[in-house]
């Protein structure tokens, strides 16, 4: 077993432990491996080990890596987890199975138009700026309900999940709990929260998807 599959096995074992500790079913938590900056040769061993859900941050980088990998490995589910420009909406719809970073109405309009034109509909999650940080993307928590309703009712874009990145240097649990509350009152079942530093906390707060890079791959180059 090489270092990469070792990292993967460790993270999967810790997810199982965290789910168990939280009294949750192991199957309720999916691992999204954040593979930004990692070349295909470092991703392939994880695919060979059975991992199928991956997250990428940039459309162009994903276009360079994933069509080939998707052709080699059936059942890959590719998530867009980085900021998305409206002019890349169509490319993103073509390549990604899930777009986690829906965060403004101009983008929603571009995505709705792209879905119609291409006849392909990925899943969409809304990104919530759960710590109300000015430098971060995402819908403000107090605007989340109306944003989700507008996506559904005005633009025909169903929001199936919520995603957040909590502020650094503060305990993450209250932020994850807040995201879970927003999801619950909007009848949204998918919660994408938790990264290498805090995915066990996120699982305790109800994460259904954790996005982990460094803990699998080691530090990014
Ligand atoms: C890079 C990234 C991750 C993974 O971060 P690690 O700390 O390396 O686990 C998760 N989510 C997003 C949006 C990212 O950009």
**Domain ranges for the chain:** 2-217
Q: How far is the CA of 35 from the centre of ligand 1 (A)?
A: 9
Q: What is the pLDDT of residue 221?
A: 63
Q: How many CA atoms lie within 13 A of 80 on its CB side?
A: 31
CB-ligand 1 contact for 211 (6 Å cutoff): yes
d(CA 1, CA 166): 34
Closest ligand 1 atom to 100 CA: 13
Q: How far apart are CA 187 and CA 194, in angstroms?
A: 20
Q: Which tens digits make up the pLDDT trace of 113-164? A: 999 999 999 999 999 999 999 999 999 999 999 999 999 999 999 999 999 9
Q: What is the mean pLDDT of residues 163-191?
A: 98
Per-residue tokens: 5: 């599959």
The Å distance, Cα 58 to ligand 1 centre, comes to 12
Atom of ligand 1 nearest to the CA of 81: 13
| Higher per-residue pLDDT: 185 or 1 | 185
pLDDT higher than threshold 80 for residue 220: no
Angstrom CA distances, 98 to 78, 201, 220, stand at: 6, 23, 23
Asked if residue 61 lies in contact with residue 41, where contact means CB atoms within 8 angstroms, the answer is no
CATH number of 2-217: 3.20.20.10
DSSP assignment of 178-211: HHHHHHHHTT--EEE---TTTHHHHHHTT-SEEE
Contact 170, 195 (CB under 8 A): no
pLDDT score for 2: 75
């Amino acid at each position: 077993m090489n270092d990469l599959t070792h990292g993967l096995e460790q993270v999967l074992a810790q997810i199982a432990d965290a789910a168990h500790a939280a009294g949750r079913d192991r199957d309720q938590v999916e691992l999204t491996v954040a593979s930004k900056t990692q070349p295909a040769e470092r991703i392939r061993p994880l695919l060979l080990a059975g991992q199928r859900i991956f997250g990428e941050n940039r459309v162009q980088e994903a276009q360079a890596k994933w069509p080939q990998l998707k052709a080699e490995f059936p059942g890959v589910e590719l998530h867009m987890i980085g900021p998305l420009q409206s002019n890349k909406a169509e490319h993103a719809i073509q390549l990604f199975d899930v777009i986690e970073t829906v965060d403004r109405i101009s983008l929603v309009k571009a995505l709705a138009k792209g879905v119609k034109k291409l006849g392909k509909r990925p899943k969409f999650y809304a990104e919530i700026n759960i710590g109300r940080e000015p430098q971060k993307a995402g819908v403000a928590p107090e605007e989340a309900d109306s944003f989700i309703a507008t996506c559904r009712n005005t633009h025909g874009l169903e929001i199936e999940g919520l995603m957040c990145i909590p502020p650094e240097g503060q305990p993450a649990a209250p932020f994850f709990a807040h995201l879970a509350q927003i999801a619950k009152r909007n009848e949204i079942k998918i919660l994408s929260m938790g990264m290498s530093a805090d995915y066990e906390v996120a699982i305790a707060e109800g994460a259904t998807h954790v996005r982990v890079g460094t803990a699998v791959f080691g530090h990014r180059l």
